[in-house]
Structures are given as C-alpha cells and as structure tokens.
Chains A and B, each alone.
Chain A
Amino acid sequence: MKRFHLPPLACIGLSAVAVLVACLALSSLFVPKNNQASFGQIDEAAFGVLGEPSDSLDVLFVGDSEVYTSLSPLQMWNEQGFTSYDIATSGQPLCYSKTILSHALEKQNPRVVVFETNMIFRKMKADQILWREAANLFPIIEYHNRWKHLTPADLTAQPKTTWTHPAKGFRPNEQVVPSKIRDHMKPTTDRERISPLNEWYLTSMIDMCRDRGIKVVLLSTPSTKNWSTQRHNAVQAFLDSKGYGSDVSYLDLNFDGTEVPIDWQVETSDAGDHLNIKGARKVSHYVGDWLRTNYRLTDHRGESAYRQWTQASANLG
C-alpha cells in the first residue's frame, strides 16, 4: 500500500500552525490570574486601572514616568471631585501606550484621555514594535517567564482583575535635586521631528478615542530635561496638520510665566527630568482645575458609588 506523505511546504505550514496553536494554549496558562505583581502582572501600577469598577473613570492619563510623577488622581479627586487614573509606565513607548489604553478602554469610557507628550519623541526600534504586536496577540510572549512560578491553579483559574493601585497609578518622588538649566524653552521656530511610526501610533490612539466620543488632550508636563520649544513646535505642527478641532487640545506647562510656575531649585527630584511631590502638587492642582472647567467633569464626591475614592484618599492621607 502506498503511504501518504504530506507535501514539504504543507509540513512547514503545519509546523507554523502548531506553534501558533501552542502559543494560544500556553497563553491562557501563563497569563496572570490577577492584575498584581504577586500573580506575575507586569507594570501592576498601570494595570491597576483594570481593577477599577466599569465606566467609573472620567479621565485617563497616558504616558511615561512624567505622568506618574506629576499627576495625582487622588489630589484631583479631593480638589475637583472627578476620577482619573495614571496608566503610565517607565520609558513607555507609544506602541505600549496603545496596548495599555486598549485594555483600559475595554472597561472604561472616560470623558477625556490625556496623552503626555514626552513619549511622542521616544524612539521605538522595529523589534520593539514587532514584539509588542506579537505579545498583544499571544500573551505568552509577555508572560513566558512565569514558567518559574506556575502552579496547578494556573491550569484552571480564570484571570481576574480585582486589584487597583492605592494612589491610582501616581508614584511621587520626595527627593530634591535642583536643575541647572537656565535657558529652558528658549524661543525658536525650529521643530523636532516626530518619526512617522510614532505619528502613526499617536494618530491611531487619538482616532481610537475619537471613535468612542472621548475628548483628547496632549499635555506637556514641566521638564527642563525632556521638553523644549522645538518639541512644543512639533506637537503644535502635528495638531495643525491634522485639523482635529475641538476634539483634541494641547496644554504645555513648560513656558515661563504660565499658570504653573515651577521652582526648578526645589520642585524637581532629578535636576529637571521629573517633578518631585511639591511640583506634582502644583501641576495636579492646575491640570485638575483645567480639565474640570474645560470638559465640565462631574463632581462625584458624596456619591455612594464612589466611596472607595474617598477611602483611598483617606488611606494616603
């Protein structure tokens, strides 16, 4: 009897399918079973947003360390009464911002999404983007290192997201290291280049928000090290070229004499790179007031559904 043989190319295709199926199957095994670091969750402070009750957040702040050191959701709650969360991670590239934002928008329908602009200029390597997109399809790629900590419970447990960050993603720094830069935001008409890939990711995130009827704010938090007039001009030119109108606003807090005068001798934790808690208080106060005024955000203080916010605020003092 003649034996059946698969054609060689079918063999290759079959092995590719086998790898993909294995990745899918292993993904459900390896994915953390709760959104905490103790369960293997990566970037738990940002992913704590998934632990917030559905449709309970008014504002999402997206970005890198500039966000989680400058914007305090609990201060804004105390002063303005709206809810917000810092979905920020250290050195966040735009491809990762899109991933975290997509996860957050599966559960939340905020009025405003604020993108901190420093990440717009962060270079992304081709490999970084490919890995990110692959990890979005197959979480095993993100969580493969959990093989060291797998338990029998991982075989049966369903992933839950019950944990939220006590300060809603805000991670302040108390250190004081003065900035020596004297010519921050020197006037110029030059502008830095936004790479096409970065522009594509930013545009796709803005479109994702606009499709859901969410207003977008591009926010440049004060930083003598990361921000410049050239960068400001680039963001402004980007917005001018897109013509988003009132859907997208731009707020740059770096210019001298603006509403948030930062004392760079005492309000930065690392020579102008990030703000410390004192600087963060000023920025959070101003941004909270600006958002509530411009987007008519509801004051939820006193509403029973938002009791955990009052509790969280009390816990942090």
Chain B
Amino acid sequence: MNGHIINSFCSLAFLGAFVPATALIYTLSPQRVRPWVLLLASYACFWLISGKLLVLLIATTLVTYLTGLVLGRVRAEQREAVAGTRDRAERRAIKARYRNRSRMVVGFSALASVGILVSVKYLGFLGGIASSLGTLVGFEWHLVPPKIGVPIGISFYTLQALSYVFDVYRSTIEPERNPMRLALFMGFFPQLMEGPICRYGETADQLAAGEPIRTDNLVNGLVRIAWGVAKTIIVADRLNLYVKPVFADYTAWSGTVIALGAVLYTFQLYCDFSGTIDIVIGVGRIFGVRLPENFRQPFFSRTASEFWQRWHITLGAWLRDYVFYPVSLSSPVKRFARGARKVFGTRTGSVLSGGVALFCVWILNGLWHGSGWQYLFFGMYYFVTILASGLLEPLFSGMRRALKIDPSARPWIVFQVLRTWTIVFVGELIFRAEGVRAGIGMLGRIASGFSPAALIDGSVLAPGMDAADFAVVALFAVAMLFFGLWRELGCRTPRPALQHRIGISCAALAAICVVIIVFGAYGQGYVPLDPIYAQF
C-alpha cells in the first residue's frame, strides 16, 4: 500500500476528514447527483491511497462493463435466432453456438481482469517458480516483474468484476448499460481496502438510489464505525507488540511464547479484519447502503469448514458459487464421481469427488491471500483437514457411538469448538509465518518446547506486552465473547422506540469514543498495524 494520504480506515484523515466531507457534499447534492458524488469520492479515495494505479481499477471496470454489454448482445441475438426456428434440434444447436460465443467473451474478460491482477501481484512469485524450473533443466533466466506497485483492494474488486460477468453470463442479472452504476459497484470507497466482496444484485441499486442520509442510519453507522475502530486500535494494534517480534524471529522465543503468539495473532487478525469490516459497513450505512456481513461469530464454529462459513463469509460464498459448484458439476468431475462411487462406495466416493472441487477452492483461497508458498501451504492445510474430516467421519461417528457420546451434549460441543480453535491457530501460524520453513520451524518449536509453566511464571510476557496490555486485551475479548454469545444464542432485547434507540446509541457512541481515546494503542511506543487484509 502506498499510503499516499489515507493509510488506514482507522485514520483521522479518513474518518475525521474524508468521510464527513463526502457525507456533507452528498447531503447537499440533489438525489440524482448523489451516485456521482459517491463515485467521485470513491475514485478520490483510491487516488489518496494508491495514486495513479487508479487507472487499473478503471481498466478493469471498463473491461467488465464492455463484457456485460457484449454478453447482453449475444443473448439478444440468440433470442432472435431461436425465435426464428421451430426445429428443436436446430434450436439446441443455436443455443450451443451462442453459449460458446458467450463463454469466449467471459473467458476473454476473466483473462483480462485476472491478467491485471496476476501482473501486479503474482508475477514476481510466478517468475521465481519459472526461474527455479529453468535452472533445473539448465536454462538460466530471470523474470523481472514491473515495479508498478499493487493497487489497493485489487483482489477484492477483481472478484467483484468476475462475479458480475459470471452473473450476467448465467442470466442471474441483466447487463448494466449505465457505466456509472457499474463503476460505483466496483469502486465504492468503503469496500476498497478489505471488502466485503459484494454481488451486483446486492448493492448496485442501493448505491445508485442516492437516498438521503437518515438520522437513524447515521447514528447506527457511527456506532458500528466506533466499535470497529475500538477493535482495531485497542486490540489489534496492541497485539502487534507481541505478535511482531515473535514472528520476526521465532528462534529467539520458547515454544510457549510461539504458541501464545499464534493464538494472539489469530485474535489480532480477527479484530483487525472484522474491525475494518465494521467500519466499512458503518460508512456504507451512513449512505443508506447495507453491505453484507463478513463474520458470524467464527469462534463458535464446531468444525473447520463451519469456521470458513463464518469467517470472511463473502470470499467463501464467492468461491462456493463460482468455483466449488461449477467444478463439482463439470462433466469430468461428474464422470470421476461416478467412478469413485463405484470403486470406494457411495459415501467415500462422494467425498473424494467433492475433494476435487475442494482442492480448487483451497488452492485459490490460499493464492488469493498472497503470492507466497506459505499461502499455498495454508490453503492445502485446510484442504487436507476438511477432506480428512469428511473421509474419517464414519470412523469418528463409530467412536462417538462406542464411547456413548451425545453429539448435542454441551461438553462435546465445547470440545469441538476447542478442537476447531486449535486447527485455526495452526492455520494462522502457517499463514503469518515468514515462509513455509519458518512455519514448520515454529510448529516444531511448539511441539518440542511448550511448557505450561511459562504461562504462570510470567516469561510469556517477554515480547513487548505488559500485564496491563494483556488485561485490556482480555477485557475486550470477554466483551466480544459476551456479545458473540448473545447473538449466537439468538437473544433479543426489547426494541425501544426510535428516539430512545437514537439516545442510547449516542450515549454508546460517546462512551466508545472515550474508551478508544484512553485505551487505544496509538501514539508513542506503538506502531499502528497496516490493515492486514488490505495487503491481499
């Protein structure tokens, strides 16, 4: 991230100047002009973060827009051609012909959008692999990637562009004729850094509506923003004091410190990412745009796959809809599924054939997060874990029955949740480690040098955080656990009248702001954490 002027959504420049200025201009503008205000603000925000790399966002938007128009035209031509004949075989042939044309258009568009993404983000990594392979066969060459930098949010807006094209291809949505609407969908400024990854049908109409800023939306948006800032500045930035030195040189720390570092990193990542998403959703709310939630109490998950249905929900849903299902339903995989069921039986065969799609999902999930072997390793870790749990499920069920364990009993659920935590902590350790070798080294050190005594004798406090810092993090974790549990159990409070709600929200807003000012990890002695997911 270049961080020209805005370097984080928690920054005063963004929350104290950019958002209020945009809201003011938006409010003062006539309704039909408001979407334009949002679009200009979005491009200005992109410029303030990534400078002239804005041209890449505009290029992807243009390619996506034109693809939509061409697909619409192909579809119209197909309708005309089909209407001109009554012969069913000929109709099928026409449809197949136009389907192929549509596929070619989609392929070209995807190639262009993904090509831009690959050229700015992955070329160095791919070049390294190609160089290594070349050396193996005695051919010395080095691919030097262009040093143009990575524009903010390219992995997010590229997926949005692809989802739009796929949805138009599937006729889920109509191709957009107004380029401004598509441009706003692609570049709406709160989503620039860390998503959520939206579908065109979800947000395009809301963005283009230019609804006035309503007081309840403003207040609720501000409270959501304040809560997000609190998560980021009080917890995520504070945990950086511990996490950074542990991951920078794991050989200097004991297995216990590394294990705690992995746990704290997971919590840091959650607070940073979900905190930023809270800010994003809050800013969207101010402008009357309901953005999709990206987290649903992930730490209450009982399995790894459930965890990924609750963590970064919009990425999981994207991979499910545009990778998992299409791969599962493709002819080669269907053939493989039939064969696997014959050889291994219905259950194991189904899991194995599902594994093909699962492999594609997790390799893409890993690569989406970054261009490094540790991200591929991270993806494969989850692929193996989830596939193994599917294959071994009959064995586990048998063991449960033999041990007379009631799957709905609370202790069993707690065990499952703790087991998921362990899987997630290991995954995040691999994810954050400075390379695969360091990740394996850290796991080895935990296995060989974990000592519960270090948790009591105070030696775990060594890297950067004192007892007071731990107390703040612990209090915050308890508060988040309480709210999470409240939501998880579906508890509801009586809904007071609107005016009371606004009064309560304003009081909460003021209280959160004061807590952030006093307990935030900012100023001397703290280095603010670069938004982690903004780097993906």
Residue of B nearest to A9 (CB): B215
Contact A22 B514 (CB under 8 A): yes
For the complex, is A157 an interface residue (Cβ under 8 Å from B)? no
Q: Which of B11, B12, B466, B513 contacts A19 (CB 8 A)?
A: B513
Q: Are A144 and B517 in contact (CB under 8 A)?
A: yes
Interface size class of A (residues with CB under 8 A): 20 to 34
Which A residues are in CB contact (< 8 Å) with B216? 8
Contact between A141 and B523 (Cβ–Cβ < 8 Å)? Answer: yes
Name which of B387-395, B440-448, B473-481, B504-512 contacts chain A: B504-512
In the assembled complex, which residues on chain B have CB atoms less than 8 Å from the CB atom of A12? 215, 218-219, 222, 506, 509
Nearest A residue (CB) for B48: A126
Contact check, B12 vs A147: say whether CB atoms are below 8 A apart: no
- Interface residue B178 (Cβ < 8 Å from any Cβ of A): no
* A126-B13, A130-B17, A144-B523 as given contacts; A11 in contact with B506, CB under 8 Å: yes
Question: Are A144 and B502 interface neighbours, CB within 8 A?
Answer: no
Q: B427 to chain A: closest CB distance in Å? A: 33
Across the interface, do A11 and B513 meet the contact criterion of CB distance under 8 Å? no
Which secondary structure dominates chain B's binding surface? helix
**In the docked arrangement, what's the CA distance between A26 and B510, Å?**
14
Distance in angstroms from A232 CB to nearest chain B CB is: 27
CA distance A18 to B525 in the complex (A): 28
* A131 contacts B by Cβ under 8 Å: yes
- Tell whether, in the assembled complex, residue A131 and residue B12 are in contact, meaning their CB atoms are under 8 Å apart: yes
Question: Quick check: is B503 within 8 A (CB to CB) of the other chain?
Answer: yes
Decide yes or no whether B519 CB sits under 8 A from chain A: yes
A132 to chain B, nearest CB (A): 10
Given the known interface contacts A15-B506, A18-B510, the answer about A144 and B520 at a Cβ–Cβ threshold of 8 Å is yes
Q: Judge if B330 is at the interface, Cβ distance under 8 Å.
A: no
Tell me the complex Cα distance, A6–B499, Å: 8
Residues on B with C-beta less than 8 A from A6 are 499, 503
A131 CA to B218 CA, complexed, in Å:
24
Q: A8 contacts which chain B residues (CB < 8 A)?
A: 215-216, 219, 499, 502
A-B contact pairs, 29 of them (CB 8 A): A5-B503, A6-B499, A8-B215, A8-B216, A8-B219, A11-B503, A11-B506, A12-B215, A12-B218, A12-B506, A15-B506, A15-B507, A16-B510, A18-B510, A19-B510, A19-B513, A19-B517, A125-B3, A127-B11, A130-B12, A130-B17, A134-B12, A140-B518, A142-B523, A144-B519, A144-B522, A145-B525, A147-B468, A147-B519
- Which of B's residues lie within 8 Å of A, judged by CB? 3, 5-7, 11-13, 16-17, 215-216, 218-219, 222, 466, 468, 499, 502-503, 506-507, 509-510, 513-514, 517-520, 522-525
Which residues of A line the B interface, CB within 8 A?
Answer: 5-6, 8-9, 11-12, 14-16, 18-19, 22-23, 26, 42, 125-127, 130-131, 134, 140-142, 144-145, 147-148
